[in-house]
Amino acid sequence: MQEKTEESPVLYEVVRATALITLNRPHKRNAISQGLLAGLYDSLEKAQADPAVRAIILTGAGESFCAGLDLSRLATDNLMDPRGDGRDLMDIRPLIKKPIIGAINGHAITGGMELALNCDFLIASEKASFADTHAKIGIHPGWGMSQLLHRAVGLAMAKQMSFTCKFVDAKKALEMGLVNEVVPQEKLLDRCLEIADDIAKTNAPVFEIIKQCIEDGANMTFADALQRERDGFNAFLSQSGALKK
């Protein structure tokens, strides 16, 4: 099954059991506009609602993943409520239970890096690079940079990136733990689809439980997170016993 909207700031395509979402303003290095955000949110919700989709890949058209805010639209676009429904990325992201793989094909800068950090994990091409330039250009972070970056790379490294606004290349990003893998540019989507295919082979209900345990546990004490897992396992055993009867 394949589905595309060509004249759109965001493209949506289903490949096997994977929704491929492509930021599609290559002439602007996929800079964030109201239309791009609305298309992204629509696409994420569409993938979540489709029972045939098991994973999501987010990438960019052209040579950039996303160059951050389109500054020419800053005074005119509604970036915190792009669809007029009162919801922005921080409201929508928790509702997406399917894993999002970030296929970082080029620059992921500031707001674009925030979009990347909202993925479950990142696979980068050798041409990828990352920077948080909020402090340099004088824009307040709004999509998780101050909290997601240090959870990915550690507090001290996050401070260095955000304080200096310097770019980090793909090799350094791998060393830091910001990305999981670095692959040649021409193999990026194939590798991400391979990972998505592996996810599609798992038991869907148990996969969702494990994903939720990991994510919720990151915000619990170690003891509480272990107890949550134990409680879930006991419930699983009880249900399995009932099924056997």
Q: Assess if residue 52 is contained within a domain.
A: yes
Q: Assess if residue 142 is contained within a domain.
A: yes
Per-residue pLDDT reduced to its tens digit, 208-225 = 999 999 999 998 999 999
In this structure, are 193 and 209 located in the same domain? no
Q: Assess if residue 4 is contained within a domain.
A: no
Q: What is the 3-state secondary structure (H, E, C) of the chain?
A: CCCCCCCCCEEEEEECCEEEEEECCHHHCCCECHHHHHHHHHHHHHHHHCCCCCEEEEEECCCEEECCECHHHCCCCCCCCCCCCCCCHHHHHHHCCCCEEEEECCEEECHHHHHHHCCCEEEEECCCEEECCHHHHCCCCCCCHHHHHHHHHCHHHHHHHHHHCCCEEHHHHHHHCCCCEEECHHHHHHHHHHHHHHHHCCCHHHHHHHHHHHHHHCCCCHHHHHHHHHHHHHHHHHHHHHHHC
In this structure, are 191 and 234 located in the same domain? no
Which of residues 4 and 110 earns the better pLDDT score?
110
Q: What does the alpha-carbon distance between residue 32 and residue 200 come to, in Å, rounded to a whole number?
A: 30
Rg (CA), the chain: 19
pLDDT tier at 242, thresholds 50, 70, 90 = low
Q: Assess if residue 5 is contained within a domain.
A: no
pLDDT at 240 over 50: yes
In this structure, are 43 and 118 located in the same domain? yes
In this structure, are 130 and 37 located in the same domain? yes
Q: What does the alpha-carbon distance between residue 55 and residue 146 come to, in Å, rounded to a whole number?
A: 26
The per-residue pLDDT of the chain, averaged, comes to 94
> Domain count of the chain?
2
In this structure, are 117 and 151 located in the same domain? yes
pLDDT at 243 over 80: no
In this structure, are 194 and 210 located in the same domain? no
List the CATH number of the domain containing 161. Answer: 3.90.226.10
In this structure, are 111 and 208 located in the same domain? no
**What pLDDT sits at residue 74?**
86
Q: Which domain holds residue 22?
A: 10-200
In this structure, are 136 and 238 located in the same domain? no
Q: Contact 132/110 with Cβ under 8 angstroms?
A: yes
In this structure, are 145 and 73 located in the same domain? yes
Q: Assess if residue 2 is contained within a domain.
A: no
In this structure, are 209 and 102 located in the same domain? no
In this structure, are 101 and 172 located in the same domain? yes
In this structure, are 170 and 126 located in the same domain? yes
